[in-house]
Amino acid sequence: MKRRDFIQKTAASSALLAFPSVPLMAFDSPTKVKHLTILHTNDVHSHIDPFPASDAKNPNMGGISRRSALVENIRKENPNVLLLDAGDIFQGTPYFNYYGGELEFKLMSMMKYDLATMGNHDFDNGIDGFYSQLPNANFEFVSANYDFKNTVLNEIVKPYKIFEKDGIKIGVFGLGVQLEGLVDKKNYKETVYNDPVEISQEMTRILKHEKRCDLVICLSHLGYHYKNEPDKISDLNLAKLTKDIDLIIGGHTHTFLDKPTIVKNLEGKDVLVNQVGCYGINLGRIDFYFDSDKNKTNQGRTIIV
């Protein structure tokens, strides 16, 4: 009897849930717009303090404490924030020479960074130096094209991470630059670099189709574009050669852009590529507005940059 009772109750509640769900959808979709804010940095290079007023290039710019204030304010405005870094967190000021990345990771954890990818300079104290600082980071690292199988980072740095914010499912995968010729082999050890385009196809298949993410972001340290080597893999080339990526957040080339670049992908769809220079001088902000009315979006996304 008890069992029957339970089933009946379940049936009733299921029915209640099931039936209104149809008209609810119809009502719900046009009104409830979901809003996700992506904040990002790249190539901060241990620039914890602002540049001094006497600096020839960037006087009074940057500073992690100010960035923190800015992020806090944006979080108050919209709690659905993802804070990401595209690599080269390490190396560039004595903070790194003295403390090996401890302060960088601790401060990024205090600012509630969600995820980062690895840049070539994050190997500067060796892969072991990076590993030894990881207990100071409350956020994870992703890299899909570095195979860490035979290193200390095996199973620690994963290819991708999926976030859910206000019912929006966001898949973020990482890509790193070719290490050979750029980083001393004794520092990257047995890390294997794999082709970013092939890996991206695999990642988007998993994230967009298997895991059904609403948004796919690539966190890249490949570099924006190489003027002298236009065919070298870069964020602009990656965008053209792949599909199902909505946004590429880049780093490595310290590229300052006036605004995010819009690139047509393999299917002719728009991909946003952004990078915000270096040294924590800027914070990138990309706002995504979602709707459940497909008809609206079939007419194309409005991109305001």
Main-chain dihedrals φ then ψ at residue 82, nearest 5 degrees:
-115, 125
Nearer to other proteins, 2 or 155 (CB): 2
Of 159, 174, 250, 284, the one binding other proteins (CB under 8 A) is 284
Give the binding range for other proteins (CB under 8 A) out of 12-20, 81-89, 148-156, 203-211.
12-20
Structure tokens at 19: 């039936």
Give the binding range for other proteins (CB under 8 A) out of 20-28, 138-146, 152-160, 203-211.
20-28
Shortest separation between residue 182's beta carbon and other proteins, angstroms: 7
- Using CB under 8 A, pick the residue from 205, 209, 264, 296 that binds other proteins: 296
- Quote the distance between the C-alpha of residue 287 and its chain's center: 14
For residue 211, state whether it binds other proteins (rule: CB under 8 A): no
Residue from 2, 18, 23, 267 that binds other proteins (CB under 8 A)? 18
Judged by DSSP in three states, 278 sits in coil
Q: HSE of 77 in the Cβ direction (CA atoms, 13 Å)? A: 11
**Is residue 192 a contact residue for other proteins (CB under 8 A)?**
no
- Among 191, 81, 91, 83, smallest CA distance to 133 is for 91
Type of residue numbered 109: S
* Nearer residue to other proteins within complex by CB, 76 or 294: 294
Question: Residue 40: beta bridge partners?
Answer: 84, 284
By CB under 8 A, tell whether 304 contacts other proteins.
yes
For position 55 contacting other proteins by CB under 8 A, the verdict is yes
Interaction residues for other proteins, span 58-117 (CB under 8 A): 60-70, 72, 91-99, 103, 106-107, 110-111
Q: Report in angstroms the alpha-carbon separations of 152 from 103, 157, 162.
A: 22, 10, 23
305: contact with other proteins by CB under 8 A = yes
Alpha-carbon torsion (8, 13, 14, 16), positive or negative: positive
Which of residues 134, 152, 162, 168 is near other proteins by CB under 8 A?
Answer: 168
Residue 154 engages other proteins in binding (rule: CB under 8 A): no
Question: Between residues 124 and 235, which has the closer beta carbon with respect to other proteins?
Answer: 124
**Comparison of 98 and 149: residue with beta carbon closer to other proteins:** 98
DSSP state of 256: B
With b for 16 or more beta-carbon neighbours within 10 A and e for fewer, the 74-86 pattern comes to: bbeeeebbbbbbb
Beta strand pairing call for 160-165 and 215-220: unpaired
Query: Which residue's entry shows tokens 């310290």?
Result: 254
What character string, x for contact with other proteins (CB under 8 A) and - otherwise, covers 214-253? xx------------x-----------------x-------
Residues 25-44 that bind other proteins (CB under 8 A): 25, 29, 34
